[in-house]
């Protein structure tokens, strides 16, 4: 039997990168998916790939995670259709512009925190309400290695991801007794569109060379793959991780162990 047979899993940020990869992985293990994002065209592509991978059923919902009413509606629509929520990959996020703290735009800072921290909180708040009623469920929040150490030139991103780590640990203490586990992943340099854009900020002309230099200090000397992150997400959302709670798991080729 597949690990996610007939289980209902919501994925935010499902239109690309880690969310898309997680959708395909969970679909291959029999999940019924709720794919959430702002870009309908990309969501439809994720749904198509998930269906090919074996998704039992998929629902697309367009929502902006910075709008609490839209997040609440996302949860309500899921419960109305499927009756429950077994897993939640709370994944939506942005990096923002890179700058020294003194030059970091205040509006940029607010926007990055709004997406990465407030959006994660809204998702947790409304999904946890349903899981609490059920008496079970699993949540995986997407933090970052930028949430467990300083990275430089990313005040908004680092602050928001440290906040995600704090939310994860706090809520894990609150809800473990109710049969709910809450963990976070801390991806490092995973080759997604967001990381590519980050490299282009560092060197618009020779961003690929900048990427080679960026991973040269990594023990594995390469970028990670979205599929490698998806495997960890699937584990944490599965029954195999029943006694894993309040953890922040780095997926970075061992680089964080050097700090």
Of 104, 122, 157, 175, the catalytic one is 157
Look at the block and give the residue holding tokens 């702002």: 38
Concerning whether 259 is annotated as a catalytic residue, the answer is no
* 8 A C-beta contact, residue 26 and residue 14: no
Token pair in block for residue 11: 């994925």
Give me the DSSP letters along 42-93: HHHHHHHHHHHHT-SEEEEEE--TT-HHHHHHHHHHHHHHHS---EEEE---
The H-or-E segment that residue 251 falls in is strand 248-251
* 8 A C-beta contact, residue 223 and residue 195: yes
Q: Which DSSP symbol is given to 115? A: I
Q: How far apart are CA 147 and CA 183, in angstroms?
A: 13
* 8 A C-beta contact, residue 137 and residue 124: no
Token pair in block for residue 143: 């933090």
Nearest to 56 by CA among 1, 96, 103: 1
Q: How far apart are CA 226 and CA 190, in angstroms?
A: 6
> Which residues pair with residue 182 across a beta bridge?
139
Residues annotated as catalytic (active site), given as ranges: 157
């Amino acid at each position: 039997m597949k690990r996610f047979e007939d289980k209902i899993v919501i994925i935010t940020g499902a239109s690309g990168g880690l969310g898309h990869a997680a959708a395909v992985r969970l679909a291959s293990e029999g999940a019924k998916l709720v794919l959430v994002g702002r870009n309908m065209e990309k969501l439809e592509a994720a749904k198509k790939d998930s269906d090919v991978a074996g998704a039992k059923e998929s629902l697309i919902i367009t929502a902006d995670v910075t709008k609490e009413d839209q997040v609440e509606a996302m949860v309500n629509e899921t419960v109305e259709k499927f009756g429950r929520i077994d897993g939640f990959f709370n994944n939506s996020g942005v990096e923002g512009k890179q700058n020294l703290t003194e030059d970091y735009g205040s509006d940029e800072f607010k926007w990055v925190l709004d997406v990465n921290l407030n959006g994660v909180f809204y998702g947790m708040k409304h999904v946890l309400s349903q899981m609490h009623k059920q008496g079970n469920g699993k949540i995986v929040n997407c933090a970052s290695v930028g949430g467990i150490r300083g990275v430089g030139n990313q005040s908004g991103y680092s602050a928001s991801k440290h906040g995600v780590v704090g939310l994860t640990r706090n809520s894990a203490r609150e809800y473990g007794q109710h049969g709910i586990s809450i963990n976070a992943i801390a991806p490092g340099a995973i080759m997604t569109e967001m990381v590519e854009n980050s490299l282009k900020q560092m060197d618009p002309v020779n961003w690929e060379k900048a990427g080679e230099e960026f991973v040269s200090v990594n023990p594995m000397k390469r970028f990670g793959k979205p599929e490698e992150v998806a495997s960890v997400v699937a584990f944490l959302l599965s029954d195999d991780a029943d006694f894993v709670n309040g953890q922040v798991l780095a997926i970075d080729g061992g680089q964080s162990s050097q700090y």
